[in-house]
């Protein structure tokens, strides 16, 4: 191939199939950042190769707030929502628990340290280093503590926190092992009242369904409330439970089971894999979703 100047141009190309294109569509940017601690953390190394590491730490609320935000042109703090991509749920808005967390944060008396009253945050990273009391982390994801993180953001963005010496509890886990990451996400959320369907939300098939439905004008509620919080039309949002019910009714010809208790349809691996699997063409999930009455 010759360019306009008459010289030789070297180029390289790759042939992409459907799987490669799907991976590109679902590609998540790697995010790096720093988290300043108030004390030296407790360090635990795990595994024969020592590449999986864990830290137990606390950070001042003001420093954790800075870890959560970036600033717009006017200097207003904006929550880094991409830090929560691997979380199984989105922000649940003004629930009783979230209201209580914010009330604790803005309490002028500050009689208790915040970490005494809260389960804390679980942070995953592919790589990380600790220099002094500051973490430098790569490919950061907050996989547990999303509600707490949002509450800290909403409370502190409108208050002067410079003199606030309360802290938040953080678990920082550094691993590149995908199975370990998925196990951590499931285990840290299973301790709370989380629907079985939400614990499946990080599965590849669930991401594939979300992508295909999105491309066709529907919003798959893989992470509960994500699209509601984005202001998408309610009649275009499809829940995991609804799709599981419809699949059980149509594909398995078992409407009685689907109607009786929809929450159990994704609870066991056996039931789940009957309706969510790679043997079912992705288009089927879209057409099944269309069966929902307006």
Residues 69-85 pLDDT 10s: 999 999 999 999 889 88
> What local confidence, expressed as pLDDT, does residue 210 receive?
95
Q: Is the pLDDT of residue 2 over 50?
A: no
**CB neighbours of 115 closer than 8 A, spacing ≥ 6?**
58, 166, 167, 168, 169
Out of 37-41, 57-61, 140-144, 178-182, pick the least confident.
Answer: 178-182
Residue 203 and residue 182: Cα distance in Å, rounded? 9
Q: At what angle do helices 204-215 and 18-25 cross, to 10 degrees?
A: 80
Residues 152-175 pLDDT 10s: 999 999 888 888 899 999 999 999
Residues 8-50 pLDDT 10s: 666 676 777 766 665 555 545 558 999 999 999 999 888 777 6
Residue 93 and residue 126: Cα distance in Å, rounded? 30
> What local confidence, expressed as pLDDT, does residue 108 receive?
83
* Banded pLDDT at 86 (limits 50, 70, 90): confident
- pTM greater than the 0.85 cutoff: no
């Amino acid at each position: 191939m010759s360019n306009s100047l008459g010289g030789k141009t070297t180029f390289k190309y790759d042939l992409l199939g459907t799987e490669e294109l799907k991976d590109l569509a679902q590609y998540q940017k790697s995010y790096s950042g720093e988290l300043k601690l108030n004390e030296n953390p407790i360090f635990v190394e795990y595994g024969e190769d020592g590449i999986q590491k864990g830290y137990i730490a606390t950070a001042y609320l003001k420093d954790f707030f800075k870890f959560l935000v970036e600033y717009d042109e006017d200097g207003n703090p904006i929550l880094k929502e991409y830090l929560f991509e691997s979380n199984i749920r989105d922000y649940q808005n003004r629930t009783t628990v979230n209201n209580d967390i914010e009330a604790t944060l803005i309490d002028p008396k500050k009689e208790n340290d915040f970490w005494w009253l809260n389960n804390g945050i679980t942070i995953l990273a592919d790589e990380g280093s600790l220099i002094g009391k500051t973490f430098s982390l790569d490919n950061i994801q907050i996989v547990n503590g999303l509600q707490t993180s949002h509450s800290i953001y909403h409370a502190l963005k409108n208050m002067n926190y410079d003199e606030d010496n309360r802290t938040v509890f953080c678990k920082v886990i550094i691993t590149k092992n995908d199975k370990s990451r998925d196990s951590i996400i499931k285990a840290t959320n299973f301790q709370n009242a989380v629907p079985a369907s939400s614990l499946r939300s990080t599965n590849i098939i669930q991401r594939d369904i979300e992508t295909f439905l999105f491309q066709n004008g529907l919003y798959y509620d893989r992470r509960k409330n994500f699209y509601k919080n984005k202001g998408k039309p309610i009649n275009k949002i499809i829940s995991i439970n609804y799709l599981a019910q419809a699949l059980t009714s149509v594909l398995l010809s078992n409407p009685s089971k689907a109607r009786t208790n929809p929450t159990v349809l994704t609870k066991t691996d056996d039931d789940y894999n009957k309706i969510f699997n790679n043997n079912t063409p992705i288009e089927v999930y879209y057409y099944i979703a269309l069966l929902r009455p307006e």
